[in-house]
Amino acid sequence: MSEKVSITINGNVYAVDKELTVLQTAKSANINIPTLCYLKDINEIGACRMCLVEVEGMRTLQAACVFPIREGMVVYTSSPRVREARRMNLELILSNHERSCFKCTKKSL
Amino acid sequence: MDCSLLEDDPHSVIEAMSIAAYATNSQYGYVYVRAEYPMGIHRLVIAIEQAREYGLLGNQILGTTFNFDLEIRYGAGAFVCGEETALLNSVEGKRGEPRPRPPYPAEKGLFQKSTLLNNVETYGNIAQIILYGADWYKGMGTKRSSGTKVFALGGKINNVGLLEVPMEITLKEIIYDIGGGIPDNKKFKAVQTGGPSGCCIPESLLDVSVEYDELIKIGSMMGSGGLIVMDEDNCMIDIAKFYLDFTVDESCGKCSPCMIGTKRLHQILEKITKGKGTKEVLTTLHDLSIAIKDMSMCGLGQTAPDPMLSTLHYFRDEYLAHIEVHHCPVGVCKELLEYTIIADKCKGYMLCSRHCPVGAIKGAIKQPHIIELEECIKCWRCVSKCKFNSIVLNKATLKGIHNE
Cβ–Cβ gap B294/A96 under 8 Å: no
Cβ–Cβ gap A49/B288 under 8 Å: no
Dmax (CA) of chain B: 93
> What does DSSP say about strands B391-393 and B339-341: parallel, antiparallel, or unpaired?
antiparallel
CATH number for the domain including B275? 1.20.1440.230
Indicate if B61 and B167 belong to the same structural domain: no
Task: In whole angstroms, give the CA distance from residue B192 to residue B48.
Answer: 36
Strand ranges inside B142-282, DSSP E: 148-155, 161-166, 188-193, 200-202, 226-231
The answer to whether B287 faces chain A, any CB pair under 8 Å, is yes
List Cβ neighbours of B24 (8 Å cut-off, separation of 6 or more).
Answer: B116
Q: H helices of B133-228, where?
A: 134-138, 171-172, 212-217
A17 within domain boundaries: yes
Please give the residue range of the domain that contains residue B202.
Answer: 148-231
Model confidence over B206-252: pLDDT tens digits? 998 888 888 888 888 888 888 999 998 899 999 999 999 999 999 99
Indicate if B249 and B317 belong to the same structural domain: yes
| Residue positions counted in chain A | 109
Cβ–Cβ gap B295/A46 under 8 Å: no
A107 within domain boundaries: no
Indicate if B254 and B348 belong to the same structural domain: no
Smallest CA–CA distance, residue B379 to chain A, in Å, is 31
The answer to whether A48 faces chain B, any CB pair under 8 Å, is yes
Last residue of a domain, one of B208, B231, B254: B231
Cis peptide before B102 (omega within 30 of 0): yes
A109 within domain boundaries: no
Indicate the burial class of A105 (C-beta count within 10 angstroms; 0-12, 13-18, 19 or more). exposed
State residue B180's pLDDT score. Answer: 92
**Gyration radius of chain B over CA positions:** 26
B371 within domain boundaries: yes
Indicate if B99 and B180 belong to the same structural domain: no
Indicate if B95 and B174 belong to the same structural domain: no
Task: In whole angstroms, give the CA distance from residue B141 to residue B120.
Answer: 20
Smallest CA–CA distance, residue B19 to chain A, in Å, is 32
B404 within domain boundaries: no
Residue in A88, A90, A91, A96 to test binding to B, most B beta-carbons within 10 Å:
A88
Give how far the C-alpha of residue B13 lies from the chain's centroid of Cα atoms, to the nearest Å: 25
Residue B386, amino acid? C
A42 within domain boundaries: yes
Chain B residue closest to A87 (CA)? B291
In the predicted model, what is the mean pLDDT of residues B338-364? 85
Question: Sign of torsion, CA B128 B134 B136 B139?
Answer: positive
CB atoms within 10 A of CB B259: 19
Please give the residue range of the domain that contains residue A84.
Answer: 4-102
Q: How many domains does the structure of chain A reveal?
A: 1
CA dihedral B76, B77, B79, B83 (to 10 degrees): 50
Residue B265, amino acid? L
Task: In whole angstroms, give the CA distance from residue B321 to residue A28.
Answer: 54
Q: H helices of B111-163, where?
A: 120-132, 134-138
Task: In whole angstroms, give the CA distance from residue B7 to residue B37.
Answer: 9
Indicate if B8 and B94 belong to the same structural domain: yes
Q: H helices of chain A, where?
A: 22-28, 80-95
Last residue of a domain, one of B69, B104, B132: B132
Residue B116, amino acid? L
A98 within domain boundaries: yes
> What does DSSP say about strands A73-76 and A4-9: parallel, antiparallel, or unpaired?
parallel
B179 within domain boundaries: yes
Smallest CA–CA distance, residue A1 to chain B, in Å, is 23
Report A:69-98 residues touching B (Cβ under 8 A). 81, 84-85, 88-89, 92-93, 95-96
Percent of chain B residues topping a pLDDT of 70 = 97
Residue in A92, A93, A95, A96 to test binding to B, most B beta-carbons within 10 Å:
A92
Given pLDDT bands bounded at 50, 70 and 90, which one contains residue B32?
Answer: very high
Indicate if B220 and B258 belong to the same structural domain: no
Model confidence over B57-108: pLDDT tens digits? 999 999 999 999 999 999 988 899 989 999 999 999 999 999 998 889 999 9
**Smallest Cα–Cα separation from A89: which of B51, B39, B258, B235?**
B258
The SS3 assignment for B298 reads coil
Smallest CA–CA distance, residue B248 to chain A, in Å, is 14
CA angle B95, B98, B100 (to 5 degrees): 130
Cβ atoms of residues B18 and B10 within 8 Å: no
Q: How many domains does the structure of chain B reveal?
A: 4
Cβ atoms of residues B353 and B361 within 8 Å: yes
Give how far the C-alpha of residue B334 lies from the chain's centroid of Cα atoms, to the nearest Å: 23
CATH number for the domain including A48? 3.10.20.740
CB atoms within 10 A of CB A2: 9
B69 within domain boundaries: yes
State residue B402's pLDDT score. Answer: 39
Indicate if B204 and B221 belong to the same structural domain: yes
Task: In whole angstroms, give the CA distance from residue B181 to residue B171.
Answer: 12
Residue in B95, B251, B260 to test binding to A, most A beta-carbons within 10 Å:
B260
B257 within domain boundaries: yes
B398 within domain boundaries: no
Indicate if B302 and B345 belong to the same structural domain: no
- B328-353 burial code (b ≥16 CB/10 A, e <16): bbbebbeebbebebeeeebebbebbb
B142 within domain boundaries: no
| Residue positions counted in chain B | 404
Residue B397 has pLDDT above 80, yes or no: no
Cβ–Cβ gap B102/A68 under 8 Å: yes
Smallest CA–CA distance, residue A85 to chain B, in Å, is 6
Residue B373 has pLDDT above 70, yes or no: yes
Residue in B216, B290, B297, B302 to test binding to A, most A beta-carbons within 10 Å:
B297
Indicate if B227 and B254 belong to the same structural domain: no
Selecting from A68, A88, A96 the residue whose C-beta is nearest the C-beta of B291 gives A88
A43 within domain boundaries: yes
The answer to whether B266 faces chain A, any CB pair under 8 Å, is no
Cβ–Cβ gap B297/A63 under 8 Å: yes
List Cβ neighbours of A71 (8 Å cut-off, separation of 6 or more).
Answer: A5, A6, A7
Cβ–Cβ gap A46/B100 under 8 Å: yes
Rounded to the nearest integer, the mean pLDDT of chain B is 89
Cβ atoms of residues B403 and B313 within 8 Å: no
Indicate if B10 and B109 belong to the same structural domain: yes
A108 within domain boundaries: no
B141 within domain boundaries: no
Rounded to the nearest integer, the mean pLDDT of chain A is 90
Task: In whole angstroms, give the CA distance from residue A56 to residue A81.
Answer: 13
DSSP state of B105: T
Residue B67, amino acid? N
CB atoms within 10 A of CB B63: 7
ipTM of the complex model: 0.90
DSSP per residue over B264-281, as a string?
HHHHHHHHHHTT---HHH
CB atoms within 10 A of CB B205: 20
Residue B404 has pLDDT above 50, yes or no: no
In the predicted model, what is the mean pLDDT of residues B259-266? 94
Task: In whole angstroms, give the CA distance from residue B73 to residue B70.
Answer: 10
Cis peptide before B368 (omega within 30 of 0): no
Percent of chain B residues topping a pLDDT of 90 = 62
CATH number for the domain including B204? 3.10.20.600
A62 within domain boundaries: yes
Task: In whole angstroms, give the CA distance from residue B383 to residue B380.
Answer: 5
Q: H helices of B325-386, where?
A: 351-355, 381-385
In the predicted model, what is the mean pLDDT of residues A32-55? 92
Task: In whole angstroms, give the CA distance from residue B332 to residue B198.
Answer: 22
Cβ–Cβ gap B295/A48 under 8 Å: no
Given pLDDT bands bounded at 50, 70 and 90, which one contains residue B395?
Answer: low
Indicate if B252 and B293 belong to the same structural domain: yes
Selecting from B100, B291, B302 the residue whose C-beta is nearest the C-beta of A85 gives B291
